[in-house]
Every structure is written in structure tokens, then in C-alpha cells.
Amino acid sequence: MKIKDGEFRTGWTALLAATAGMSAGLGLNAYINNIFGPYLLEAFNWSKAEYALNGAISIITVLWIPFIGRMADVFGVRNVAIIGIIAYPLSFVLMGLMTGDVRVLYAIHFMQVIFCASTTATVYCRVVAERFSQQRGLALAVCAAGPAVAGAIASPLLTSYIDANGWRSGFHVMAVFSGLLGALTLALLPKKSRARKTDAPRPSARKDYRAIFSSPAFRVIAVSAFLCSLTHALATSQVKILLGDHGVSDVGAGYMVSVFAIGVILGRLVAGVALDKWPTHIVSAIGMGLPCIGTYILATDTTQIVMLGLAIILIGLSFGAEADILAYVTARYFPMHIYSSVMGLLTTAVGLAIGLGSGLLSYMLSKTDSFTAFLLVGGTLVLIGAVNLLRLGAIEDIHAPEGKVA
């Protein structure tokens, strides 16, 4: 595949800014929660069910993320992102001060979602989508891979650092890291949007949202995003704990989190290249349907490290592919001036799934102390969501490159 050098030559600063912002933003929580989970459970004697319930806080994105997306469309990415750039490092400082009440963890996570939602793909991917067209899938993949790269590097290093210096020091390190990368993001973010003209009429929310909700493509994508994200409750906070139930040591589980992160990176890059080259509906269905295989493997009582590694990397591949797929189909099926508004709604579907999935997982763990039932139910719903994405093949998109079918 030939890369369009002109796009990367003119858009590299915007791509770097968005990638750095994603790497120091709320998307990093999927890896941070996995790393710190076992230490917090041991330090405060929290149950697995109590810790799993923390993920249910993501349900507030149902109302909040669409608002953030709309603000990015109206006021610009830079003006919205700065809120999360400041708030995210502060949240780690607060976590380092926790004394044992699990409700404090819930409160900090709540504040993260409120103030740091502006550091997610809903906001940053618009910067990339505006500046890339022929290689948009690859560019979005590079951007979305940022948190996974950070997670892959951080997991073994941070685990070793916490073992030597304690989990509080680990949170302090994260505060410094996210603060420095956030400053770089702010320095490189473009000051103006290419999708809006200074003399353009004020956007009409009623008109824009009517167009979004009446779109067949939106209905297909939103339903599938919800179904395929229900098992993210595991991926975002339970990997090390789940692997422990399969006899994997803490050190081995730490490396497995890196395997998961590597899978996320590969998933995003492979999906990005595939989206630029092959039919969108086929790539989307395969990319977002992979977790069903991984969850079915984990539902067994296997202790074979190869099988467990295969399951984790399949979940990671899909976790990564989903981010690129949703960002890409938004640009393919909707006008750019409502890009973040659509992404906000799709992110809401994902957040609702994670929140409900976390609540369901917590309930099942409290009843059985086993992940098996959740893995079987979640894997089946993921499969249904992936099959539903094939319906995009019959829907005409508005930005298909010449010679490429939807």
C-alpha cells in the first residue's frame, strides 16, 4: 500500500498532537485500572465485585459524551481539550491520597469522566479526520493506538515500579507523565478547524441531530457498537484478576496486560490499513467480532498459557480495531461539520455498554464469584453485533474513495 506523503507531510503536527492527547487522556484508564486493580484490592481489602462496579460509572457518558462532542463541533477541539488536559493529571494525584473508602475511587472516576471526556477520540479524532482523506484509516489508527502504546510500555515498567515503591508512588508517576504529554498536546493542536468557515451560520443542533438519528447507518453502527462493547467491562479493569483465576501469577498477568496492549496496537493499525483498502462493512464486522472467540476461550477452565494469551490478544485486537472503525465510519457516513457530534453519540453507546456490562459483571460475581456466565453471555452478544455490521454493505456512504465500496 502506498502512503500519500503529502497528507502526512502537511498533517503530521495535528496527528502528533491528537496521538499525544489520546496517550495522556481518559483512554489510558483501560490499562491503568488493570495495573492498579490487584494492588488496591490487597491494600484496602475491596472485593472483586466492588472494584468491578467502578466501571459502571462509565454509564454517565450516556448524557455527557454527546455534549462534549457537540462542544468540539461548535467551539473547536483545542478549547474543549484543555479542560481534560489539566484535570487528568490531577485525578492521579487524588488517587494517590485514597485511604480505603471505595466510594472515593468511584467519586474520582466520576470526576475523570466529567472533566476528562474531552481527551477522548470523540474530540481528538476530528483533528485527524479533517486533515486526512486517502489515508484516513491509517492516520486514525496511529492516533487511536496512542493509549495502547503507552499501556504496552507502562504495564511491565509501572508494575515493577509499584512493586518497589508502592501504588501511591505509581499514581504520582502517572500524574507527571500525563501532565507532560498533555502540555505537548496543547502546544501542537491546531488553533483553527478546517471544517468550519468564519462566516458560516451558527450550527443548528435540532437540524443536525435530526439528520443523525434518521440515518440508517447511524442506527446500524450504534446498535453494533453497544453489543460489541459489553465485554469491555473485562478489558478495562479485570484482565489481571481474571487471569489470576486461571492460575496465572501476578507477574505473568502483568505481562499479559502488555500482550493485551500489543493486541490493541496491532488491531488499530491493521484495521486502519484494511479500512483504506477493503469494504468497510466486512472489516468492521470482523474487527469488532473478535472478542467472542476470546471470551469463549476464557469461559473454559484452561490454564494453558498459549490459549489464555490467544484469548487476550483477540480481545485486544478487537478493542483496538473498534476505536479506529468507529472513527472511520463516522467520517465515511456523515458530514465533517457534525463529526464530533456523531462520535459523541457512538461513544455513548460504548459507554452505556461498558457501564451496564460492569454492573452485570459485578452482579454475577457477587452471586457466583465466577466470570464464566458473563463471558458466555457477552461473547454471544458480541457475535450478534458483528453480524449486524454487515448491513452497512447495503447503505450508501457519502465519502467513499473512488474504486472502494462501502
Residue 348: pLDDT over 90: no
- Average pLDDT over the chain reads 87
Tell me the Cα Rg of the chain: 20
pLDDT digits (tens, 9 = 90+) for 110-158: 999 899 999 998 999 999 999 888 888 899 988 888 887 888 788 788 9
| Structural domain harbouring 78 | 11-192+203-394
Per DSSP, 76 falls in state -
pLDDT band at 312 (very low <50, low <70, confident <90, very high): very high
Query: Which letter does DSSP use for residue 47 in this model?
Result: -
pLDDT (0 to 100) of residue 222: 97
Mean pLDDT of 358-384: 91
For residue range 29-57, what is the model confidence (pLDDT) as tens digits?
Answer: 877 888 898 899 999 999 888 887 887 77
* pLDDT 10s digits, 226-243: 999 998 878 767 888 889
Helices (H) and strands (E) in the chain, counts: 20, 0
318-328 in b/e burial notation, b at 16+ Cβ within 10 A? Answer: bbbbbbbbbbb
The confidence score (pLDDT) of residue 1 equals: 38
Q: Phi/psi at 284 (nearest 5 deg)?
A: -65, -45
DSSP 123-181: HHHHHHHHH-STTHHHHHHHHHTHHHHHHHHHHHHHHHHHHHH-HHHHHHHHHHHHHHH
- On the question of pLDDT at 91 being above 70, the answer is yes
Q: Quick one: cell of 50? A: 466492588
What one-letter code names the amino acid at 125?
C
- What sign results for the dihedral spanned by CA atoms 256, 261, 264, 270? negative
The dihedrals phi and psi of 387, each to the nearest 5 degrees, come to -60, -35
Total domains, the chain: 1
C-beta separation of 73 from 345 below 8 A: no
Q: Does residue 1 belong to any structural domain of this protein?
A: no
What is the C-alpha separation between 345 and 340, in angstroms, rounded?
9
What's 297's domain CATH number?
1.20.1250.20
Is 354 among the domain residues? Answer: yes
pLDDT 10s digits, 253-288: 878 877 887 888 888 899 999 998 899 999 999 999
Q: CB-side exposure of 370: number of CA atoms within 13 Å?
A: 8
pLDDT at 196: 53
Q: Give me 252's grid cell.
A: 505473568
Residue 167: inside a domain: yes
The pLDDT score that the predictor gives to residue 369 is 84
Is residue 403 included in any domain, yes or no? no
Distance CA(352)–CA(300), nearest Å, equals 27
313 pLDDT exceeds 50? yes
- Residue 361 has a CB neighbour count (10 Å cut-off) of 27
CB burial string 154-171: b at 16+ within 10 A, e below:
bbeebbeebeeeebeebb
Alpha helices in 166-238 (DSSP H): 167-188, 205-213, 216-228, 232-235
Q: Residue 368 pLDDT more than 50?
A: yes
pLDDT of residue 403: 46
Among the ranges given (91-105, 189-203, 283-297), the one the predictor scored with the smallest mean pLDDT: 189-203
193 pLDDT tier (thresholds 50, 70, 90): low
Does residue 269 sit within a domain?
yes
The tens digit of pLDDT for each residue in 388-405 reads 999 999 986 655 554 454
The whole-number pLDDT of residue 2 equals: 44
Percent of the chain with pLDDT over 90: 55
Question: What pLDDT is stored for residue 400 in this prediction?
Answer: 54
- What lies within 8 Å, CB to CB, of 211 at 6+ separation is 338
Report whether pLDDT(345) > 80: yes
pLDDT band at 96 (very low <50, low <70, confident <90, very high): very high
CA dist list (Å): 157 to 41, 95, 153, 160:
20, 19, 7, 5
Task: Work out the average pLDDT over 360-380.
Answer: 91
